[in-house]
Amino acid sequence: MTAPVNTRLVIGPNASLTPRQAAGFMALVSVPGLGIAGVFAAQGFWPIFPFAGLELSALGAALWVSLRRNRYREVLSFEGGQLVVEFGSLGSGVGRRLVWPRTWTRAVLEPGRRRNDPQRLLLMYAGRRVEIGRCLTDDERAALRERIKELLRPVAPEGAAAAVGRGPEPSTQDLCSGE
């Protein structure tokens, strides 16, 4: 057997909204909303201002939460005989880190707790388990599980697969983008 391949997978949400776009959207919604509220306030319907402000505050809070969640990352590093799993946010560093032996770790795909819940991708070692890929779709989780299983196995020397009677291992597309 040859040495296992060193690889790093970065899992993160599909963050299509940038902070600049969020600020532009907030301005695009706020200017007409406050303008309409101003027109009504000028006609004597002044209580509309607090409600317009509350509505815009709720929208701002929702955008802030969305942008914050978009910074979440899970990094799986396959280094030598170890699997290093790091959880954290961009700009905040690593919040949690696990180091497990590569050959004894398993990747398992479980159905959700209830009928319509998404599947759960778990890494397991010595009775411990950690869920990864919550921001992925079920199809992406299944493909990621296959890629992880491929990376957890030690690499056989060339010709060993033919000697056992198997063909080469199929390659799977890596769904995770590195940064």
Calpha distance 89→139 (Å, rounded)? 24
Q: What's the mean per-residue pLDDT of the chain?
A: 83
Task: Write down the pLDDT at residue 172.
Answer: 35
Domains by residue range for the chain, with CATH? 7-13+72-164 (2.30.29), 19-69 (no CATH)
Check: pTM over 0.95? Answer yes or no.
no
Tokens 């050959």 locate to 103
Indicate if the pLDDT at residue 19 is higher than 80.
yes
Nearest CA to 50 out of 37, 35, 62, 60 is that of 37
Sheet with 82-89, strands from edge to edge, namely: 7-11, 72-79, 82-89, 93-101
- Averaged pLDDT for residues 54-78: 92
**Which residues share a beta bridge with 101?**
82
Residue 90: pLDDT above 70?
yes
Mean pLDDT confidence for 117-121: 90
